[in-house]
Amino acid sequence: MLKKVQISDKNSGRIIAEYPIVLEILGVSSKDYCKEAWENAIDEGVVDPTRTARYEVEVVNDIWDKQ
């Protein structure tokens, strides 16, 4: 399933990053999608991994489901 995940700054509400995430594993949760997006944001340097409380990571919609 492909889901769109957004990362935003909690103080300003500004969207920092948005990722389409595909996980091909059965039984994955929204938390799994958010974790993958967070790791992408760290790799790209758009978030400070030492200040996780500053950010909100959430699945904003299902883009498609292959079922």
CA atoms within 13 A on the CB side of 33: 26
Q: pLDDT tens for residues 19-37?
A: 999 988 888 899 999 999 9
| pLDDT of 50 higher than 60 | yes
Which residues are within 8 A (CB) of 20 and not within 5 positions of it... i.e. 6 or more apart?
Answer: 2, 3, 4, 5, 63
Prediction pTM value: 0.86
Q: Which residues of 15-40 are buried (b: 16+ CB within 10 A; e: fewer)?
A: ebbebebeeeeeeeeeeebbbbbbeb
Q: For residue 27, what pLDDT is reported?
A: 84
Q: Give the pLDDT band (50/70/90) at residue 67.
A: very low
